[in-house]
Amino acid sequence: QNMLEELLIHKPDDPIQFMIDHLKQNNDDAPRICVLGPPASGKTTVAMWLCKHLDAVRISPETLLFKEVLARTKEAKAYKERKEKIPNALWANLIQERLSNVDCIKQGWILEGFPENQEQAWMLQSSGIFPSHVVMLYAPDTVLIERNSGKRLDPITEEVYHTTFDWPDDLCIQQRLVKPDLSEEEMSKKLLEYHRNFPEVFQIYQKVLKSINADQPAVDVLSQVRTYVQTRHRSAAPFTPRILFCGPPGSGKSLQAALIAQKYGVVNVCCGQLLKEAIADKTKLGELVKPYVDSGYPVPDNLVMKILADRLNTLDCMTNGWVLHGFPRDVEQGEQLQKSQMIPN
């Protein structure tokens, strides 16, 4: 699915070579995660923790401006020095250039605080940058404003601490911590801007996004984030369900099969019912089966398999999928089902 997406985005002149190169990279499982949220919601803490656990590359506004030497870093810094807003297109260009580096391709990336608005999200998408997971942190504004006042930064490690909740034990670290230069008024403005842009970004990423409450102990936040980023999204590739219910008599196989068939539109196939229908319809196979059923003897496996194969190979079963119960009842029948290529998935 990832390869198909890449083909559609890049439309290469030589698609075969493009697919070979894609498979050689062997990086479809590399993390591609965005950590978003309002100021002081803990984005940096979450992003740094994920990088340590997933061995991915962390990318944030600070790393792009002050740690990287990219083609347009100077231009972006000039905007920052003039205290002007850096254009969305310039941010997108810096991100695209950074993510095209080998370390990001191989190890994966954690994008912290990007995208901030709808235009940035669209620009990333048009560059072929799609996160596999988006973590959206949230907390009441009053909590975030209070957190911001106690927030302290370690200029060497870039880790974030708090005077109340997370004060370091090491005296050396305590002495070098600095207070971010974000006043309460500026914080309120940033929160207002965030709330204005948030619904549009949420809409774009809703299929891969999970909102996590940041107003709880850090351990709980990180645990929920880790659980989410390790989930695999259901593939959008075509899928034909072939479901098999096994269990002892009275365990509810036929009820569960009926519910599954009703909910997902698959064909409900009961082996016992098939034999009765074959007898009632007076088919050739039905006439062979009738004496066994009438006398209460088990029907030979080869006859059952023929009737079952005829049903599972009909158009509705092939198109919509099936849910089977009442067969196989033993190892030999199971092996016959495998050999017939009607393998449950």
Instruction: Give pLDDT, residue 181.
Output: 73
**Per-residue model confidence as pLDDT tens digits over 156-183:** 877 888 777 778 888 888 888 888 777 7
pLDDT classification of 27: cutoffs 50, 70, 90 = low
Tokens of 54: 């997933």
Question: Exposure string (b/e) for 135-167, b if CB count within 10 Å is 16 or more?
Answer: bbbbbeeeebebbbbebbbeeeebbbbbeeeee
pTM recorded for the entire structure: 0.63
- pLDDT exceeds cutoff 90 at 262: yes
User: Which residues have a Cβ under 8 Å from the Cβ of 202 and sit 6 or more positions away?
Assistant: 136, 209
Domain boundaries, the chain: 31-230, 242-340
**230 CB burial (10 A radius; 0-12, 13-18, 19+):** exposed
User: Greater confidence, 226 or 156?
Assistant: 226
Classify domain 242-340 at the CATH superfamily level.
Answer: P-loop containing nucleotide triphosphate hydrolases (3.40.50.300)
- Taking domain 31-230, whether its CATH number is 3.10.20.440 is answered by no
Confidence band (pLDDT; 50, 70, 90) for 236? low
Provide the token pair at 37.
């949220």
Q: How far is CA 200 from CA 128, 144, 149, 204, in A?
A: 19, 21, 29, 7
The reply to whether 31-230 and 242-340 are identical in fold is yes
CA separation, residue 214 to residues 133, 137, 225 (Å)? 17, 6, 10
What is the DSSP-derived secondary structure letter of residue 181? S
Q: What Å distances lie between residue 77 and 52, 73, 158, CA to CA?
A: 28, 6, 19
The answer to whether 238 and 321 are in contact (CB under 8 A) is: no
Q: Are strands 133-138 and 57-59 parallel, antiparallel or unpaired?
A: unpaired
pLDDT tens-place string over residues 74-127: 888 888 888 888 899 999 999 999 998 888 888 899 999 999 999 999 999 888
